[in-house]
């Protein structure tokens, strides 16, 4: 089996893996939204295994592309395909892989924003429960707005 066939097989495996990763990231999104930490841990472990497999395939692909004197960039891979695959049979899988990578990148950013927003919400709730809500405004005994650090009682003291 020549390098081009090996590259084609590796590319095919990568396309399958990126679709699995995308599905895993969608499951991760649902677990974050539903606040299911046990489910989230399982999904993250599966996602990391898929990322490891993708990294292995990528390392193989990089070797083949660089052995042909091309840089391992989108442009270099395009040149690699154009030079070694006159029928351009690899163009479709390569395009699918790039599109899947872009979708996964967007999902990863979205999931990260959701996690960050949830962490901020929990931190705010804890500050409120401790009586340390700096952002709240209240009124003093004379009815004037009072902002800044509230030196009130915690909920457990109330």
User: In the structure, what pLDDT confidence band is assigned to residue 46 with cuts at 50, 70 and 90?
Assistant: very high
Predicted local confidence at residue 121, as pLDDT: 82
The domains of the chain are located at 3-134
User: In the structure, what pLDDT confidence band is assigned to residue 155 with cuts at 50, 70 and 90?
Assistant: very low
pLDDT tops 80 at residue 137: no
Higher pLDDT, 96 or 136: 96
pLDDT tops 60 at residue 153: no
Q: Within 13 Å, how many C-alpha atoms sit on residue 78's CB side? A: 5
CA neighbor of 63 nearest in space, from 6, 21, 18, 102: 6
User: In the structure, what pLDDT confidence band is assigned to residue 47 with cuts at 50, 70 and 90?
Assistant: very high
Answer for the pair 4, 47: CB distance below 8 angstroms, yes or no: no
Task: Quote the CATH superfamily of domain 3-134.
Answer: FlgN-like (1.20.58.300)
- Mean pLDDT for 69-79 is 93
CA neighbor of 114 nearest in space, from 21, 30, 18, 23: 30
Predicted local confidence at residue 43, as pLDDT: 95
pTM check: above 0.95: no
- Mean confidence (pLDDT) of the chain: 86
Tell me the DSSP string of 71-109. -SSHHHHHHHHHHH-TT-TTHHHHHHHHHHHHHHHHHHH
Tokens read off for 135: 């952002």
Angle at 45 between CA 29 and CA 54, to 5 degrees: 90
């Amino acid at each position: 089996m020549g390098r081009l066939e090996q590259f084609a097989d590796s590319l095919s495996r990568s396309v399958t893996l990126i679709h699995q990763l995308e599905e895993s990231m969608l499951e991760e999104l649902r677990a974050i939204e539903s606040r299911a930490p046990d489910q989230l841990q399982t999904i993250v472990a599966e996602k990391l295994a898929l990322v490891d497999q993708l990294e292995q395939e990528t390392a193989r692909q990089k070797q083949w592309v660089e052995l042909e004197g091309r840089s391992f960039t989108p442009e270099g891979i395009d040149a690699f395909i154009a030079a070694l695959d006159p029928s351009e049979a690899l163009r479709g899988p390569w395009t699918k892989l790039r599109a899947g990578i872009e979708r996964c990148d967007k999902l990863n950013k979205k999931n990260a924003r959701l996690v960050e927003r949830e962490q901020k919400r929990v931190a705010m709730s804890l500050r409120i429960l401790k009586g340390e809500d700096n952002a709240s405004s209240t009124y003093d005994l004379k009815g004037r707005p009072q902002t800044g650090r509230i030196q009130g009682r915690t909920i457990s003291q109330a």
